[in-house]
């Protein structure tokens, strides 16, 4: 029975339910073990526990530990076996000796049976514990599986969310493009409305001129009818009226005025025919005359202007200018304050690439003042000093035209200053900075909108950034206040 109990104690020790320290402490006297032997047994137990069921590598055993194991084996306190390069140690001899010391000769069988029952009970308890651990481990596996499934669903939801965000961003970009198209269409309609207003004014002026000519002719005709008639003239007038071969004075004056107009348009007709090499449309001549009347040019300045524009267009653009080109160039040189032939010649002699770009800025800005040196200085600062491209400058002018009630260089300068501080270098970056500025103004409350509610607006940003927000802006406003 003692070997069986020793085997069961060895199994309890292997499952770490039994420790040598407690046994040796309570049985030191019965086993007659010295403190050194107890310490060596505990050291060997620690090494065996650390190695586990794989055994202790023989190469890793120090010399003194190997000698200790051999000595304890000789004292029948442990058993040792070697398999390949592994050392396996059992404490069954120690447990058997301990059982023999604890159990006497009297009633030894009952004590063995009692110890065996206790060991069996402990083993059943260990089996139950192991079964509960297996069940708990299975439950943990199920929970891990459920967590993995939830994580997979979360990953799927995150992918769907990213796709929705991407779709929303694409729709936002599409809406932004549509907004830009609507803005361009609104600008085009405003330009068309402006042209229609100009043509209406020209027609109104022409109507008034024709009315004055008609009244003048009627006055001349009334004066001739009221004058005393001589013998020859009266008879010829009477004969004309009676026979139907005479001429009404008003009709004669109208024909004379028409003939004079045809005579005055002859240089323009000859120039256009020579320029195009074909017969011209008299509507073009009327448009050119309207342009002359609008800017109040003399015939000499008009012919010089047509020749200069044609020569400049053929030299640089290799094309024949149209009436629209003449009208555009007339608007530009009028903005430069050209009102004589000498100034016109000097303008085209000194005209450069920068002047063309300044003219585009002036046209885009829709300014009401004439182009002067301030335009040139500001454009050179924006393009050379600040390093903005011409397209970015034109985009700032468009924002000024949409946002300011009175577009001017100061407003453009403030927009470009803000873009420079934000690191803007392209048109797209400028648009994003403008949207960010509008959102910031919107989050800031309605104070800015309330301040500009009574002012006339030309666009959705009317009145924004008109008041200086810093000392630098205030100085800039004072500097360009005359503009």
The upper half-sphere exposure of residue 70, i.e. CA atoms within 13 Å in the direction of its Cβ, equals 7
Q: What is the spatial distance between Cα 295 and Cα 309, in angstroms, rounded to a whole number? A: 16
pTM of the model: 0.31
Q: Is the pLDDT of residue 137 over 50?
A: yes
Sign of CA dihedral 159, 160, 165, 169: positive
Pick the more confident residue, 36 or 353: 36
Residue 17 predicted with pLDDT over 60: yes
Q: pLDDT per residue over 29-60, tens digit each? A: 677 777 887 788 888 888 888 877 777 887 77
Q: What is the pLDDT of residue 105?
A: 42
How many percent of the chain have pLDDT more than 70? 75
Q: Is 367 a residue whose pLDDT tops 50?
A: yes
Stronger pLDDT, 159 or 271, i.e. the higher one: 159
Q: Is the pLDDT of residue 173 over 60?
A: yes
Rounded Cα distance between 34 and 25, Å, is: 11
85-95: pLDDT as tens digits: 888 888 788 87
Lookup: tokens for 25: 């402490």
Please report the pLDDT score of residue 448 as a whole number.
44
Higher pLDDT, 414 or 117: 414
Angle at 440 between CA 435 and CA 441, to 5 degrees: 100
Tell which phi-psi region holds residue 44, choosing left (phi > 0), alpha (psi between -120 and 50) or beta: alpha
Average model confidence (pLDDT) across the chain: 75
Q: What is the pLDDT of residue 451?
A: 39
First to last CA, the chain: 118
In the sheet with 79-83, reading across from the earlier edge strand, the strands are 56-57, 86-90, 79-83
Interval 239-266: pLDDT, tens: 333 333 444 444 444 444 444 444 477 8
Provide the sign of the torsion angle of the four alpha carbons 186, 189, 191, 197, taken in this order.
negative
Question: What pLDDT, on the 0 to 100 scale, is given for residue 165?
Answer: 93
């Amino acid at each position: 029975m003692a070997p069986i109990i020793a085997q069961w104690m060895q199994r309890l020790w292997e499952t770490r339910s039994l420790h040598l320290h407690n046994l040796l402490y309570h049985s030191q006297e019965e086993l007659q073990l010295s403190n050194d032997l107890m310490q060596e047994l505990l050291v060997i137990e620690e090494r065996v526990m650390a190695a586990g069921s794989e055994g202790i590598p023989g190469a890793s055993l120090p010399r003194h530990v190997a000698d200790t194991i051999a000595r304890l084996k000789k004292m029948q306190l442990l058993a040792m076996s070697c398999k390949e390069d592994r050392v396996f140690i059992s404490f069954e001899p120690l447990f058997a000796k301990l059982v023999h010391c604890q159990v006497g000769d009297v009633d030894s069988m009952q004590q063995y049976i009692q110890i065996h029952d206790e060991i069996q009970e402990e083993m059943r308890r260990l089996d139950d514990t192991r079964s509960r651990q297996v069940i708990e481990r299975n439950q943990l596996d199920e929970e891990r599986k459920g967590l993995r499934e939830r994580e997979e669903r979360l990953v799927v939801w995150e992918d769907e969310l990213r796709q929705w965000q991407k779709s929303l961003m694409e729709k936002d970009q599409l809406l932004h493009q549509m907004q830009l198209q609507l803005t361009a269409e609104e600008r085009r309609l405003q330009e068309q409305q402006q042209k229609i207003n100009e043509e209406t004014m020209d027609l109104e002026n022409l109507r008034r001129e024709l009315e004055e000519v008609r009244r003048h002719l009627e006055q001349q005709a009334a004066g001739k009818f009221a004058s005393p008639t001589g013998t020859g003239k009266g008879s010829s007038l009477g004969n004309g009226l009676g026979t139907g071969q005479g001429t009404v004075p008003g009709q004669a004056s109208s024909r004379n005025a028409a003939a004079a107009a045809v005579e005055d348009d002859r240089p323009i007709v000859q120039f256009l025919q020579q320029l195009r090499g074909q017969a011209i449309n008299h509507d073009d001549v009327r448009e050119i005359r309207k342009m002359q009347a609008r800017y109040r040019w003399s015939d000499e300045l008009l012919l010089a202007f047509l020749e200069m524009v044609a020569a400049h267009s053929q030299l640089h653009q290799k094309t024949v200018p149209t009436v629209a080109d003449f009208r555009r160039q007339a608007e530009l040189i009028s903005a430069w304050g050209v009102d004589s032939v000498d100034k016109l010649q000097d303008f085209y002699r000194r005209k450069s690439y920068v002047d063309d770009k300044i003219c585009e800025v002036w046209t885009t800005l829709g300014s009401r003042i004439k182009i002067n040196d301030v335009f040139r200085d500001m454009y050179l600062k924006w393009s050379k000093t600040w390093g903005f491209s011409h397209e970015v400058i034109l985009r700032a002018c468009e924002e000024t035209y949409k946002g300011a009630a009175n577009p001017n260089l100061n407003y453009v300068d403030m927009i470009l200053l803000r873009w420079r501080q934000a690191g803007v270098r392209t048109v797209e970056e400028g648009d994003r900075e403008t949207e960010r500025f509008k959102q910031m103004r919107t989050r800031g409350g309605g104070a800015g909108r309330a301040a500009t509610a009574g002012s006339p607006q030309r666009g959705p940003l009317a009145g924004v950034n008109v008041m200086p927000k810093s000392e630098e802006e205030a100085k800039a406003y004072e500097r360009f206040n005359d503009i």
